[in-house]
Structure 1
Amino acid sequence: MSPKRIRFVLPGLLVLPIYSWGFSYETPSISPESESGYEEKPGWSAESFAVAAANPLATDAGYQVLKAGGNAIDAAIAVQLVLNLVEPQSSGIGGGAFLMTYDGGEVRAYDGRETAPQAVNSDLFLQDGEPLEFNQAVVSGLSVGVPGTLRMLEKAHAEQGELAWAELFTPAITLAEEGFAVSNRLHTSLANDEFLRQDRLASQFYYDAQGEPIAVGETLKNPALAEVLRRVAAQGSAAFYEGEVAEDIVERVQNHPERPGALVLEDLSGYEALNREPLCTPWQQWEVCGFPPPSSGHLTVMQILGMLDQQPLLEAPLDNGASSSGWLHQFLEASRLAFADRGRYIADPDFVEAPGGDWSSMLAPDYLEKRSELIDEMSMGENAEPGNPGELAVSWASQPEQPEYGTSHISIVDDEGNAVAMTTTIEQAFGSRILSDGGTGLAGGFLLNNELTDFSFVPEVDGEPVANRVEPGKRPRSSMSPTLVFDQESGELVASLGSPGGAAIIHYTARTLVALRDWGLSAQEALNLPHAITLGGDVYVEEGRFPEATMDALRERGHTVSERELTSGLQAIMRLNDGTLFGGADPRREGVVMGD
């Protein structure tokens, strides 16, 4: 394929010309945002294509690829690689991802989830028979799964890409070599993290001699990452999964000073990205397509929505939630029931059989109707029990919930109508807190995931095995919910959306779908709404976003309610009735939408 020239530039900004991979590029100079926290955004309109991602530099990379003739897959690759550089706390080549694509006729699901090393067993996170404290497990070599992102992107590109593979690495390599201005979000994440300084390479790269993080607006270069990306661009993913880069990953995992891991070179070289059968579920006039297990996202989202459809229609909780605590109650109770099923049944389908032999049993209308009947005027609190959607070959025990933090989402629609929804992660913020320089000996590098802590720490409960227990080669259960929505009658694409947020991804995605379909909100208006979640116990509402009267009304229904930060990172692009696109980016993060 003949290379095409890409202009890598944000309109109206100072640019510096450089040359890389034989193409001419112009590096954007973007001032980082001055503040963090909630800041409403206007939403963005586009006639033919749009990119939504968690950082302006990453969004711009995808935009420039589309302008150069690339498609949605090409743009997603460029976006992910730049996110690795500018938002290292959330995703990157040291982690994994789920990718949903639409090519105008077919929806595909690419599984780049990390896998457990072959040498581990179900006692991985037990010490003297007791589970490790969560952060002890995270900040260790024990938590590192085999990264899947690069091999997954390579597979998707081979099947659907337009531009040359190497071309898509140029924005990230350019920015890594020339440097980028550190954003307030990255600075704040570095300042607030209590563990990253313990890693020698990370401490030297992200902090000064006094342990202070690199300042907002300071130029940060990452020569080690640039070199690793150059190798992968030229040689394919084999340059990451074999040879010097792989050796460095294994060395750092095996030589963790406190809790070394069991990862070996054969785990990396043997990693395989998978094609999964997407789950597409009718939902009134729409068909919602999402990722199957090992993601719990689509199944749990659609269980919540299916149960809500059985409930009396109540006024939308708009105006900061003051107008309908009743809808919030229904939403939270449906979440309790769906999470009870999630904890019992959902895990890697190569290790765990679906109830009744088919995951769609969990979404059967008659089953959800029976589950919905359990929603009463008063909250069931922690007493939600899993249902019985179908017979099981094994009686599974439920898994206690664990928190997750480090994730990002990308939504793209190109001018041919192809679409991408990709959620990508290293699990916690900064993952395992292990930085690899790929054996380059240069400053910087990429962070390794702590994805194995998404497994249950306890392999069995009351003598029954937990479905999501650790096993060699297994993929840990995820909450990531990359979602593509279609009109049932015409089959045309309606929306691409998703979010980071750990288990709360499910709530964020479900509520956004309701806001888009039932409440008639735009993509941006839907993302601006305040959050309320429960994982089966207490209810958490977004700090400062709900009136006291709403929280009191929930308490009167039996909910235990408290406020906390619920920092989603929703991205959404919706096709309007006139065929144009309108995109939204979460006001809680620094993301933007760009398009023409």
Structure 2
Amino acid sequence: MKRFAAIVLVLLLIPASAAPAQRHMIAAANPLAAEAGLKMLRQGGSAVDAAIAAQAVLTLVEPESSGIGGGAFMLLFDPATNKVTSFDGRETAPASAKPTMFLDANGNPRPHRDAIPGGLSVGVPGNLAMLELAHKKYGKLKWATLFEPAIKLAEQGFPVTQKLAKLLANNPDIAAMPDLKRTFARPDGTPVRAGDILKNPDLAATFRKIAKGGARAFYTGDIAKAIVAKVQHAPVNPGGMTLADLARYRAVERAPVCATYRVYKLCSMGPPSSGGIAVLQILKLVERFPSSALQPDTLTGVHLFAQASRLAFADRNRYVGDPAFVKVPVAGLLNTAYLKDRSALIGTDRDMGEALPGTPPMMKAEFGRGDTEEQQGTSHLSVVDDAGRAVSMTTTVEFLLGSEMMAGGFVLNNQLTDFSFVPVQDGKPVANAPAPGKRPLSAMAPTLVFDKSGKFLIAAGSPGGPAIIDYVAQSLIAMLDSGFDPKKAVALGHVIEPNGPLLLEKSPVLTGLAPRLAAMGYEVRTLASESSGLHVIQRVPGGYIGAADPRREGVAVGD
């Protein structure tokens, strides 16, 4: 009966009407997380308050994707000042990190999957420090209030999702890791199943400490000691993180990267994320073509998008890294004349093949090509509050269930495997090579769009590793050029071109286009399904409409 009641509760949270929300809205990857955020909005909380409450619940109910043991990027628009800002909560490498940390005894890069589990891959978590920094500037409710829904759910239990249950069932090696087995196993030792009621008293205790002591309670004291002990004494791949590494972590408020596209202005996350630059590049590269040529699910639309994506990924892999360690030519990469020259490389009837990086103006350094293999343990949420403040936040533990270790009831990330395993390529340093205190490259691209009068229009973002760039860019082009509403845009079959084979998500239209694309020179691969999680809110006459990616279990709710 408890299991049935819990499932009914979740279903009741899904909005029954497509009518616009007039005051506020949140779109998140789990109904319980969305409801926690909505509760804060109903209490007069800000978009940041709602995001924090939702993230706390996601730590509990979607541990495979995000949590306080990982990192995040947040874009925020404040209409009171007409300012867009961004908050960087990306993890950092501990002082023990070395450029060669992911090479084997022969100097060759280790298999990526072998380096994920254990302590070596764990970066100093940045999520909570970022959320506290944003709350100090834009929060309205008391910090402790924001953790109440997650504490209650952790103590009373929540229904295990299909997504988490499927992950554990399909990956017995992951499910067998000691921390995960202890937390996510039934009494008979088998992984929990969808609908089982799962409690997490350890996480409830952690949240109580954080609610009382703020982020300091996480980065010092018992929680920090538990993290360090887990990393240093991991069952595989022990790492060298120390209490000093945690104590010195700082989140950073940064200027976003912004550009115009037709009559719109778009802002997204800058370095150490490559996502914002690449999304903006893709849109600028196709801007010279009429909107009619960019229609989704058409041969021309797919081709032009894929060619722009090739060019953006070539630049992304060469030039972007942590701006504290490398001089990233952001202005050059978004320079109008540079992108006009790059766009001229796009032909209308043939695939250009593997694109080479360009030479943007103001480039101050020469880098070798990177080799990142980001994974898909990520989530996204979008929020708009009563005052019109908008948040787009992408949050991650990197791989599915991160490093496959837990401390204090939460999953520890494996974000350091987002560094390039090869620190030097063709005799040149790689921009994304590991280093002490460095933040690894990301593809996360939380994005805000403004109309021609400067008013907020869209908050969007997605999980998905490097494919985030194409997921977000494709959905924005669909909305801005073809007038798709959020629900139709997030349900599109995905086209991914990371400057290699062209990846098409299986759908009647895209599968039908595959032979014609192959005839244009593409190496086409069809994927059964992509792991996107687009969560979009759009301002419309009368309020806001939103959508959650049908490939996941999220909802958009509002009043």
TM-score normalised by structure 2 residue count: 0.95
CA deviation profile, 1:246-278 (whole Å, cap 9, x unmatched): 111111111112211111110001100001111
| Matched AA of 1:257 | P
Structure 2 distance, partners of 1:43, 1:249, is: 44
Residue 394 of structure 1 deviates from its aligned partner by: 2.7
- Unaligned regions of 5+ residues in structure 2, if any? none
Structure whose residues are more often helix by fraction: 2
Q: 2:277 aligns with which of 277, 292, 299?
A: 299
Kept in 2: contact 1:143–1:451 (CA 8 A): yes
Structure 2 distance, partners of 1:527, 1:219, is: 30
SS of residue paired to 1:100:
strand
The answer as to 2:452 corresponding to 1:488 is yes
Q: 1:349 aligns with which of 316, 319, 323?
A: 323
| TM alignment of 1:84-233, pairs within 5 A | 84-104=59-79, 105=81, 106-128=83-105, 129-208=107-186, 211-233=189-211
SS of residue paired to 1:45:
coil
| TM alignment of 1:576-591, pairs within 5 A | 576=540, 578-591=541-554
| Matched AA of 1:550 | L
CA deviation profile, 1:419-462 (whole Å, cap 9, x unmatched): 1100000001100101113xxxxxxx110000001110000011
Structure 1 distance, partners of 2:37, 2:369, is: 41
SS of residue paired to 2:52:
helix
The answer as to 2:434 corresponding to 1:463 is no
- Unaligned regions of 5+ residues in structure 1, if any? 1-13, 16-27, 438-444
Kept in 2: contact 1:301–1:507 (CA 8 A): yes
| 1:331 aligned residue | 305
SS of residue paired to 2:20:
strand
| 2:51 aligned residue | 76
Structure 2 distance, partners of 1:536, 1:460, is: 21
Residue 159 of structure 1 deviates from its aligned partner by: 1.0
| Matched AA of 1:541 | L
- 1:154 to 1:257, Cα distance in 2 relative to 1, 3 A: same
- 1:547 to 1:162, Cα distance in 2 relative to 1, 3 A: closer
Structure 2 distance, partners of 1:301, 1:473, is: 27
| 2:537 aligned residue | 573
Residue 511 of structure 1 deviates from its aligned partner by: 0.8
CA deviation profile, 1:387-412 (whole Å, cap 9, x unmatched): 01124433101112413110000100
Structure 1 distance, partners of 2:475, 2:486, is: 8
| 2:36 aligned residue | 61
Q: 2:479 aligns with which of 472, 496, 516?
A: 516
| TM alignment of 1:157-556, pairs within 5 A | 157-208=135-186, 211-311=189-289, 314-318=292-296, 321=297, 324-355=298-329, 359-376=330-347, 377-381=349-353, 383-437=354-408, 445-489=409-453, 491-556=454-519
CA deviation profile, 1:478-514 (whole Å, cap 9, x unmatched): 110111111232x211111110011111001101111
| 1:3 aligned residue | none
Kept in 2: contact 1:84–1:91 (CA 8 A): yes
Structure 2 distance, partners of 1:43, 1:266, is: 50
CA deviation profile, 1:93-116 (whole Å, cap 9, x unmatched): 000000111121211111100000
RMSD between aligned residues:
2.0
Residue 223 of structure 1 deviates from its aligned partner by: 0.1
| Matched AA of 1:574 | Q
Kept in 1: contact 2:99–2:435 (CA 8 A): yes
- 1:346 to 1:32, Cα distance in 2 relative to 1, 3 A: farther
- 1:289 to 1:360, Cα distance in 2 relative to 1, 3 A: same
Kept in 2: contact 1:43–1:585 (CA 8 A): no
Structure 2 distance, partners of 1:186, 1:33, is: 15
Kept in 2: contact 1:44–1:582 (CA 8 A): yes
Kept in 2: contact 1:46–1:595 (CA 8 A): yes
Residue 314 of structure 1 deviates from its aligned partner by: 4.4
| 1:25 aligned residue | none
Kept in 2: contact 1:288–1:484 (CA 8 A): yes
SS of residue paired to 1:494:
strand
Out of 207-216 and 365-374, give the one that drifted further.
207-216
Residue 330 of structure 1 deviates from its aligned partner by: 0.9
SS of residue paired to 1:98:
strand
Kept in 2: contact 1:311–1:372 (CA 8 A): no
SS of residue paired to 2:273:
coil
CA deviation profile, 1:158-209 (whole Å, cap 9, x unmatched): 1110000000000000000000111111111221224323421211221246
Out of 274-283 and 586-595, give the one that drifted further.
274-283
SS of residue paired to 1:546:
helix
Structure 2 distance, partners of 1:555, 1:42, is: 42
Residue 32 of structure 1 deviates from its aligned partner by: 8.5
Kept in 2: contact 1:199–1:435 (CA 8 A): no
How many residues were matched structurally? 550
| Matched AA of 2:42 | K
Structure 1 distance, partners of 2:535, 2:17, is: 13
Kept in 1: contact 2:261–2:287 (CA 8 A): no
Kept in 2: contact 1:111–1:276 (CA 8 A): yes
Structure 2 distance, partners of 1:412, 1:548, is: 34
Structure 2 distance, partners of 1:547, 1:69, is: 44
Kept in 1: contact 2:295–2:478 (CA 8 A): no
| Matched AA of 1:299 | I
SS of residue paired to 1:127:
coil
Structure 2 distance, partners of 1:162, 1:208, is: 40
Residue 589 of structure 1 deviates from its aligned partner by: 0.7
| Matched AA of 2:163 | R
Kept in 1: contact 2:20–2:543 (CA 8 A): yes
- Runs of 4+ aligned residues of structure 1 deviating over 6 Å after TM superposition are none
Taking only the aligned residue pairs, the percentage that are identical comes to: 45
| 1:49 aligned residue | 24
SS of residue paired to 1:120:
coil
Structure 1 distance, partners of 2:112, 2:350, is: 33
